[in-house]
Amino acid sequence: MKEKLEEIASKAKEEMEKIQNLQELQDLKIKLLGKKSELSNMLKGLGELSAEERPKVGNMVNQVRKEIEESMAKAEEKMKAASLNQKLEKEKIDITMPSTKIKRGSKHPINRVIEDIQDLFVSMGYDVVDGPELETDEFCFERLNLPAGHPARDMQDSFYITNEYLLRTQTSAVQARTMLANTEKSPIRMVCTGKTYRREDDATHSHQFNQVEGLVIDKKELNVSLADLKGTLEVFVKKMIGANSELRFRPSYFPFTEPSYEVDVTCFKCGGKGCPLCKKTGWIEVLGAGMVHPNVLEMNGYDPNEYAGFAFGTGIDRLAMFRYGITDMRYLYTNDVKFLSQFDRKDEE
Ligand code: DAH
């Protein structure tokens, strides 16, 4: 019995030395210690031995089993450490290698202009306000002195959703909202930028575009005159388009302002000499503006005898085109990365 155990132990030792990997170790474990192993069979056969011999042999079998188990555990640990080392060696990172390039996004030219407009007006004490794109007929037209059937509604082909709701055709809708929301009827200085929609069906217009609206209301005896409007727009245009821009006010008509003006700026391309872009006039129309119509003040809770105001509005997409010399509006909406990524550089110039 003793010889047999010694033989098992020495055979086990031999086989252990041949082991190459963890799988082989696992297989050997089953062979030497599993249910069908010689050691297990010996334990099963203990019952046939005399009461005297049984504990002795039992002890010896367990001793051999323990030795095999211990040396296997050691071998396993060694192999695991070796394979970890191998893995670490293989996955070593060379921190001196150049890294892979991460593509950086850049701000869209329209958003650049929007942020600059907001910054400029905030620096002049204006609030930046917001309004809904799904607007009611009441705020988009009625409260701006454009009742149903008013011919000026034809200038703005609208996307009506129901009889009452439409996609706003102009950010001017926010004028009425701001006046009405201001229950104290205190002075107002606001700008609002945002998306506007019109049912345009020619190739040079987009059905969706961006506008900025400005509104100033204060006590009549304070400075809310045409001169203030002119000064404000001069600062605005020079900052947005170019410091050399000149402004020209042309009488025009908007239902919500009286008097109303269209404001032209010297052509940024030819500097006013005349070129194909400005149709040889030297001027490009940029803004609509005027003094807030007394009806608009009254309809939105401001007494026109006590208060006066000016308002202005313009398309942001066109401003971006002027500023960056973009010749085709479609570039602004096709999101070509090559096109969009040049504006970081342009703004640094
Ligand atoms: N809402 C006008 C448009 O979309 C632009 C405009 C003109 C806004 C005159 C104004 C204004 O605030 O006073 O064409």
Residues 113 and 165 in one domain: yes
Inter-helix orientation angle 226-240/316-324, to 10° = 50
Range from 23-27, 150-154, 207-211 that averages highest in pLDDT: 207-211
Residues 169 and 83 in one domain: no
Residues 39 and 154 in one domain: no
With beta carbons less than 8 A apart as the criterion, state whether 32 and 12 touch: yes
pLDDT for position 56: 86
In a domain, residue 104? The reply is no
- Digit-coded pLDDT (tens) for 287-341: 999 999 999 999 999 999 999 999 999 999 999 998 888 888 889 998 898 899 8
In a domain, residue 65? The reply is yes
Residues 122 and 238 in one domain: yes
User: What residue has token string 């007929």?
Assistant: 137
Q: Which atom of ligand 1 is nearest to the CA of 171?
A: 1
Q: Which atom of ligand 1 is nearest to the CA of 213?
A: 12
Residues 161 and 219 in one domain: yes
Radius of gyration of the chain, Cα coordinates, nearest whole angstrom:
42
Residues 175 and 255 in one domain: yes
pLDDT for position 20: 86
In a domain, residue 307? The reply is yes
Residues 140 and 258 in one domain: yes
pLDDT for position 297: 97
First vs last C-alpha separation in the chain:
95
pLDDT band at 349 (very low <50, low <70, confident <90, very high): low
**d(CA 268, ligand 1 centre) in Å:** 22
Q: What is the DSSP string of 139-196?
A: HHTGGGT--TT-GGGGGS--EESSSSEEE-S-TTHHHHHHHHH-TT---EEEEEEEEE
In a domain, residue 103? The reply is no
Residues 44 and 117 in one domain: no
**d(CA 212, ligand 1 centre) in Å:** 9
pLDDT for position 54: 86
pLDDT for position 197: 95
Is the model's pLDDT at 152 over the cut of 80?
no
Mean pLDDT on 21-40: 88
Mean pLDDT on 180-194: 95
Residues 75 and 116 in one domain: no
Residues 75 and 188 in one domain: no
Examine the fold and report which residue of 61, 90, 119 is the final residue of a domain before the chain moves on: 90
Residues 230 and 336 in one domain: yes
State the average pLDDT for the chain: 90
pLDDT band at 117 (very low <50, low <70, confident <90, very high): very high
In a domain, residue 211? The reply is yes
- Digit-coded pLDDT (tens) for 262-281: 999 998 888 889 998 889 99
Q: Which atom of ligand 1 is nearest to the CA of 261?
A: 9
3-state secondary structure of 229: helix
Instruction: Judge residue 154's burial from the number of C-beta atoms within 10 Å of its C-beta, 0-12 exposed, 13-18 middle, 19 or more buried.
Output: exposed
CATH of the domain at 309: 3.30.930.10
Residues 113 and 64 in one domain: no
Residue of 161, 169, 253, 263 whose CA lies nearest to 211: 169
Inter-helix orientation angle 109-123/316-324, to 10° = 100
In a domain, residue 99? The reply is no
pLDDT for position 213: 98
Is the model's pLDDT at 204 over the cut of 80?
no
pTM: 0.72
Domain count, the chain: 2
pLDDT for position 195: 97
d(CA 221, CA 215): 17
Residue 190: give the domain boundaries: 109-348
**d(CA 250, ligand 1 centre) in Å:** 14
pLDDT for position 178: 97
With beta carbons less than 8 A apart as the criterion, state whether 22 and 76 touch: yes
**d(CA 254, ligand 1 centre) in Å:** 7
Examine the fold and report which residue of 90, 123, 147 is the final residue of a domain before the chain moves on: 90
Higher pLDDT, 17 or 191: 191
Examine the fold and report which residue of 90, 119, 152 is the final residue of a domain before the chain moves on: 90
In a domain, residue 95? The reply is no
Mean pLDDT on 58-65: 88
